[in-house]
């Protein structure tokens, strides 16, 4: 299966369990690995035979910046479901990175990664 990668999209959102996270917000990074047959686009060189990357970006941006979730797990799940519903991908792998969660200690970030398939979506 062919892949489209959209890497390190950066958004400012208000996700988290704690009041300060909901009030102050923080940066989130989203990486996507999207599976679909790209042979027609490879042969035609026509945007109509693939998916516009800007449309993918705006779909994810709407979820991260305009909605609010307590858990990064819920945010990641919503991105996976909505990307599969909106675009002709057979499978999506979503990784959401939260660089500054309220953890007292030294670390780079925390991240959630989920893989979902179109056939797994509820009817």
Place of tokens 């109509």: 48
Active site residue 98: yes
Tokens of 45: 């060189």
Per annotation, catalytic residue among 40, 66, 98, 118: 98
- CB of 35 within 8 A of CB of 91? yes
Q: Give kind and range of the element (H or E) at residue 98.
A: strand 91-98
Q: What share of the chain is helix, strand, coil (3-state, %, to 5)?
A: 40, 30, 30
- Indicate which residues carry an active-site annotation: 98
């Amino acid at each position: 299966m062919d892949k489209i990668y959209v890497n390190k999209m950066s958004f400012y959102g208000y996700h988290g369990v704690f009041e300060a996270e909901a009030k102050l917000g923080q940066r989130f990074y989203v990486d996507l690995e999207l599976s679909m047959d790209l042979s027609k686009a490879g042969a035609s060189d026509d945007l109509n035979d693939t998916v516009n990357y800007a449309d993918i970006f705006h779909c994810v941006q709407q979820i991260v910046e305009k909605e609010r979730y307590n858990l990064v797990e819920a945010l990641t799940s919503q991105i996976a479901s909505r990307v599969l519903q909106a675009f002709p991908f057979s499978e999506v792998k979503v990784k959401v990175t939260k660089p500054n969660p309220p953890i007292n200690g030294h670390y780079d970030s925390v991240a959630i990664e989920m893989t979902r398939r179109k056939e797994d979506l509820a009817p």
